[in-house]
Amino acid sequence: MPTLIDFINRPVVPQPWSEGDNIPWNEPGFSERMLREHLTQDHDAASRRTAKIELHVAWIHGAVLAGQPTRILDLGCGPGLYTSRLARLGHVCAGIDFSPASIGYAVAQAARDGLPCVYVCDDIRAAVFGSGYGLVMFIYGEFNVFKPADARAILIRAAEALAPGGVLLLETSIFDGVRAIGKAGTLWYTSLVGLFSPEPHVTFSESFWDEATSTATTRHFVIDGVTAEVTRYAATYQAYSNDALAGLLRGCGFDQVHFYPSLHGAPDASQPDFMAITAHKAGGRPATVTVM
- Site residues (CB under 6 A) for ligand SAM? 22, 25, 46-47, 76-78, 81, 97-99, 102, 123-125, 139-140, 142
**How far is residue 46 CA from its own chain's centroid?**
9
Question: What spatial distance separates the first Cα and last Cα of the chain, rounded to whole Å?
Answer: 51
Pairing mode, if any, of strands 92-97 and 186-191? unpaired
Q: Which residue lies nearer to ligand SAM by CB, 79 or 182?
A: 79
By beta-carbon proximity to ligand SAM, the closer residue of 95 and 284 is: 95
**What is the closest distance, in whole angstroms, from the C-beta atom of residue 249 to ligand SAM in the complex?**
19
- The CB-of-38 to ligand SAM minimum distance in angstroms stands at 6
Compute the least distance from the CB of residue 109 to ligand SAM, in Å: 13
Q: How far is the CB of 287 from ligand SAM (least distance, A)?
A: 22
Amino acid letter for position 114: G
| Residue 256 beta carbon to ligand SAM: minimum distance, rounded to whole angstroms | 23
Alpha-carbon distances of 22 from 86, 166, 290, rounded to whole Å = 28, 30, 36
Q: How far is the CB of 182 from ligand SAM (least distance, A)?
A: 18
Cβ closest to ligand SAM, residue 146 vs residue 230: 146
CB-nearer residue toward ligand SAM: 6 or 123? 123
Q: Which is nearer to ligand SAM, 33 or 125 (CB)?
A: 125
Using an 8 Å Cβ cutoff, are 270 and 70 in contact? no
Nearer to ligand SAM, 237 or 240 (CB): 237
Choice between 230 and 262, CB closer to ligand SAM = 262
Kindly state the smallest distance separating residue 30's Cβ from ligand SAM, in Å: 10
Q: Which is nearer to ligand SAM, 109 or 284 (CB)?
A: 109
Q: What is the distance between the alpha carbons of residues 137 and 249, in angstroms, rounded to a whole number?
A: 14
Q: Cβ 190 to ligand SAM, closest distance in Å?
A: 25
